Amino acid sequence: MRLNTEIVNDKQKALVISKSSHFFISDLEKKLKKSSIDYYFSPIAPKDYTLFDYCFFINEKINLTKVSHYHDKKFVYIFLNKQFNKNQILNKNIKIINISGSKVNEEDIDKILWFTFSETKETILNLKTKEFSGTPIFVPKKTFNNKFLKFFNKKTIIFSFIGFLIIYYFSFVPFLIGSTFLTYKSYVSFKKDDWKKAEIQVKKGEKLSSFTKKFYFLSRPTLLLFGLALPTDNLIDINNRGQTVIKNALSMLSDIKKIEKLMFIKNKNDQEISDFDLRMTNINNDLKIIEENLIIIGQKIPSNLFISKEIKNNLIDASDNLLKFNKFLNYFYQILKNPDEKKYLVFFANDREIRPGGGFLGSFGIVKIKNYSIEDIIIHDVYDADGQLTGHIDPPFPIKKYLGQPHWFLRDSNFSPDFSENYQKALFFLEKEINIVDFEGGILITTTAIENILTSFPSIYLPDYKEYINSANFYLKTQDKVEKNFFPGSTQKRTYLSSLVNQLLLNLENVSIKKFAVALKKSLDEKQIVAYFNDQNIQALFDSSYWSGRVISPLCTVKQNACLLDYIFSYDANVGANKANFFINRYYYLKTYIKNSQINHLLSIQYKNNSPGEFFPTGYYRNYFQLLLPVESKIASITKDGVVIEEEEINIKDDLYKVVGFFVEVPPKKTVEIRINYSLSTNLIKGNNIYQLIFQKQIGATNSDLVLEFETDNKTIFSNQNFSPIVKDHKIIYNTNLTTDKIFLIELIND
């Protein structure tokens, strides 16, 4: 057997109890530590002596009751110049040391320790100290008072008082900082779709906010007296309202998730209907609370901060978007709960083959809504419908000439830049072709919009095709399945798109609502989704938001007599029967020169074709270009790469616009520039003038670079504008993007 030897080093412990500070105590401490005994000091006797082996009491009254049951401990009572009653009964573990004199030296300390540690039966030691050596027994009061007074001088008292005031009046600040930080962290988590973490952080922030209010209540009257309370009030209120916004946003998103599931349950029972109504009510309430708090936060943010303007604008945009969403939600709710069936048309436009109304209409869907449910979504191949058209309808001139189509069909019906016109034309074709009528509205969705929306979904698995679809591969996968070996009458397009739609609906519970909302808003703003509704209340919302895809009426947005209206809307029609628009980039440059009160324009549009070759689906970009200008504009010249275009068409539309149209072809890997020189017939008046330019974007068009340059003569100066250009003398330059419809306002002073 192997034996292990362990050495345990367990030090003994000694406690010194004294209400007064005696100089000899430090010598006693040194001697104890030298003897490998841990030293402890206390001015008050503890309730329990279990942890200590030796206890020294200096000028303390003997308490037999308290120490008598500690048989393995030694208690030493040291009396300095005091008379001890020898008749008092003592235990064997108690020793008494009487010290007389005014000095205690090192030799005396050794005697005290020897007496303490020895096993002698003597219990009392009388020790007389010498007057001329050692350390004073008592701390001179004068020395103590000097130190006390030295520390608590006038300067220290003043700073201590100031420190106390700072702590008292600003004790709420750490809690406010902590609460604000947690509120910000919850906002970051919310943006990342980590709802659980955002909820935990905002709850912690609320707890710190409650402490902030309690401590701030003490200091607010004084801060109010010095005029410092208002900024602090606003900061605390902004933080609290921010927490309210996040809490209600989380609640609203939770209800939206539940409604997503309920929406596709057919033949709902009373409980499901009641749950649907309750959650819609909750969403409405949450939206109102969020909107109100965002408005107030925007009002309370100081205007003098360098980021204040940006934050305020973002809050205004957020409030405006919430108001729009609430209106649309109420409209949608009224449709959903209607017991009568409502039908809506959904057009799928391929913007890689651009048309004036957004893109080639390869498919369309019919959505049926009834009694709290989306009852059905039916996808149709446009060729199935077009194949049933029996009569002849004359197509627009470009379709007949450049596409070689003698008849007009639904697939080419969106040949107007105005979606409301295209929608009415599509209804006409649907009635003629498959006799479907009585729609409540229509929505056009481009391929780009679908790609935007797919970013909010995880990759969608199509079991019938054994492949995953996401925003990055959607177009290529769809083209492969839809265009490859396609012929009119085949079902492959309808089957594939129906499968994709069904899988999207099945994956709704996995969608990121925040990303979906951002993608939807982006698609609406950039005119990748446009809509028309028979209900004029909701249609007014889409019109005012520029989401309806309508041609804007050139009306002055400011109330001033001297308002000059200008308008530009260029749009393309791919008549090459390919997908070349996937490779086309546009660059717009508009130079406006004001001379002798007259407005002259040079509009340059560059088309760059990045197609790799002439093979399908790439190739030549064969484009029938059209341009809307003010009806009274005077066109001086139109050129392509410096050569005058002779075969242009110029017409008048609705007595508001002059329509210029001509054919232009852009070879692969080439750039073509169109230049149009024209002027307005209306001149500036003397004095103040407002010049308003509306620059519209085509439905389904890609975002293009836009450069504006304005130059005046010495008689006219710029005084203000609603954008931030580079200004120099009588010239301003502004670089922007044509992501959506733009309205530019310039104030001019004409001499």
Interval 666-697: pLDDT, tens? 999 999 999 999 999 888 888 899 999 999 99
Kindly state whether residue 4 falls inside one of the protein's structural domains. no
Task: Clarify whether residues 62 and 186 are in a common domain.
Answer: no
Upstream peptide bond of 630 is cis (omega within 30 degrees of 0): no
For residue 102, the model assigns a pLDDT of: 67
Burial (CB count <10 Å: 0-12, 13-18, 19+), residue 94: buried
Please report, rounded to a whole number, the percentage of residues in the chain having pLDDT higher than 90: 48
**Mean pLDDT value of segment 275-288:** 93
How is residue 603 written in tokens? Answer: 């509009």
- Residue 144's pLDDT band, with cuts at 50, 70 and 90, is very low
Among the residue ranges 215-219, 407-411, 698-702, the one predicted with the least confidence is 215-219
Contact assessment for residue 725 and residue 733, using Cβ atoms and an 8 Å cutoff: yes
* pLDDT tens readout for residues 119-133: 777 888 888 877 644
Q: Which amino acid is at 618?
A: T
Q: Could you give the CA distance from residue 605 to residue 589 in angstroms, rounded to a whole number? A: 6
For residue 224, the model assigns a pLDDT of: 83
- Residue 479's pLDDT band, with cuts at 50, 70 and 90, is confident
Contact assessment for residue 374 and residue 455, using Cβ atoms and an 8 Å cutoff: no
Q: Which is more confident, 337 or 480?
A: 337
Q: Which long-range contacts (CB under 8 A, 24 or more apart) does 515-520 make?
A: 515/193, 515/455, 515/456, 516/453, 516/456, 517/325, 518/456, 519/452, 519/453, 519/455, 519/456, 520/452, 520/453
Task: Clarify whether residues 572 and 517 are in a common domain.
Answer: no
For residue 8, the model assigns a pLDDT of: 45
Please report, rounded to a whole number, the percentage of residues in the chain having pLDDT higher than 70: 92
* pLDDT tens readout for residues 203-260: 999 999 999 988 888 888 888 887 778 888 888 999 999 999 999 999 999 999 899 8
Task: Clarify whether residues 650 and 714 are in a common domain.
Answer: yes
For residue 169, the model assigns a pLDDT of: 74
CATH number, residue 473: 3.40.630
CA distances from 238 to 28, 82, 180, 218, 399 (A): 62, 69, 9, 20, 59
What is the spatial order of strands in the sheet that 360-370 belongs to? 373-381, 360-370, 342-350, 441-446, 529-533
User: Residue holding tokens 């070879």?
Assistant: 667
How is residue 544 written in tokens? Answer: 């005012």
Q: Which amino acid is at 302?
A: P
Task: Clarify whether residues 385 and 322 are in a common domain.
Answer: no
Is the per-residue pLDDT at 340 higher than 50?
A: yes
Kindly state whether residue 463 falls inside one of the protein's structural domains. yes
Q: Which amino acid is at 737?
A: N
Task: Clarify whether residues 280 and 354 are in a common domain.
Answer: no
Q: Could you give the CA distance from residue 574 to residue 581 in angstroms, rounded to a whole number? A: 8
User: Strand runs (DSSP E) across 596-698, as ranges?
Assistant: 598-609, 621-630, 634-640, 643-644, 649-653, 657-666, 670-679, 687-696
Kindly state whether residue 731 falls inside one of the protein's structural domains. yes
Residue 606 — φ and ψ, nearest 5°? Answer: -100, 135
Is the per-residue pLDDT at 138 higher than 50?
A: no
Kindly state whether residue 138 falls inside one of the protein's structural domains. yes
Q: Could you give the CA distance from residue 348 to residue 365 in angstroms, rounded to a whole number? A: 8
Among the residue ranges 123-137, 531-545, 586-600, the one predicted with the least confidence is 123-137
Helix (H) or strand (E) segment spanning residue 241: helix 229-263
Kindly state whether residue 157 falls inside one of the protein's structural domains. no
- Residue 150's pLDDT band, with cuts at 50, 70 and 90, is low
> Domain end: 336, 363, 398, which one?
336
Q: Which amino acid is at 290?
A: I
How is residue 26 written in tokens? Answer: 């430090």
Kindly state whether residue 555 falls inside one of the protein's structural domains. no
Q: Which long-range contacts (CB under 8 A, 24 or more apart) does 711-717 make?
A: 711/591, 711/592, 711/593, 711/594, 712/593, 712/594, 712/595, 712/748, 713/594, 713/595, 713/596, 715/596, 715/597, 715/750, 715/751, 716/594, 716/597, 716/684, 716/748, 716/749, 716/750, 716/751, 717/748, 717/749
**Mean pLDDT value of segment 297-326:** 81
- Residue 5's pLDDT band, with cuts at 50, 70 and 90, is very low
Is the per-residue pLDDT at 3 higher than 70?
A: no
> Domain end: 336, 364, 398, which one?
336
For residue 440, the model assigns a pLDDT of: 95
Task: Clarify whether residues 532 and 569 are in a common domain.
Answer: no
For residue 83, the model assigns a pLDDT of: 63
**Mean pLDDT value of segment 565-592:** 94
Is the per-residue pLDDT at 384 higher than 80?
A: yes
Is the per-residue pLDDT at 550 higher than 70?
A: yes
Q: Which is more confident, 216 or 430?
A: 430
CATH number, residue 640: 2.60.40.3680
Task: Clarify whether residues 407 and 532 are in a common domain.
Answer: yes
For residue 156, the model assigns a pLDDT of: 74
For residue 141, the model assigns a pLDDT of: 43
CATH number, residue 138: 3.40.50.2300
For residue 143, the model assigns a pLDDT of: 42
Q: Which is more confident, 734 or 111?
A: 734
Among the residue ranges 101-115, 564-578, 603-617, the one predicted with the least confidence is 101-115
Task: Clarify whether residues 352 and 381 are in a common domain.
Answer: yes
**Mean pLDDT value of segment 102-109:** 80
How is residue 252 written in tokens? Answer: 């609203």
Task: Clarify whether residues 171 and 238 are in a common domain.
Answer: yes
Task: Clarify whether residues 739 and 663 are in a common domain.
Answer: yes
Helix (H, G, I), strand (E, B) or coil at 442: strand
Kindly state whether residue 199 falls inside one of the protein's structural domains. yes
Is the per-residue pLDDT at 140 higher than 50?
A: no
Task: Clarify whether residues 453 and 358 are in a common domain.
Answer: yes
Is the per-residue pLDDT at 89 higher than 70?
A: no
For residue 6, the model assigns a pLDDT of: 43
Kindly state whether residue 34 falls inside one of the protein's structural domains. yes
Per the structure, the complete domain to which residue 112 belongs is given by 12-147
How is residue 48 written in tokens? Answer: 């329990």
How is residue 379 written in tokens? Answer: 């996808």
How is residue 94 written in tokens? Answer: 């108690």
Contact assessment for residue 590 and residue 568, using Cβ atoms and an 8 Å cutoff: yes
Task: Clarify whether residues 197 and 69 are in a common domain.
Answer: no
Domain count, the chain: 4
> Domain end: 123, 147, 171, which one?
147
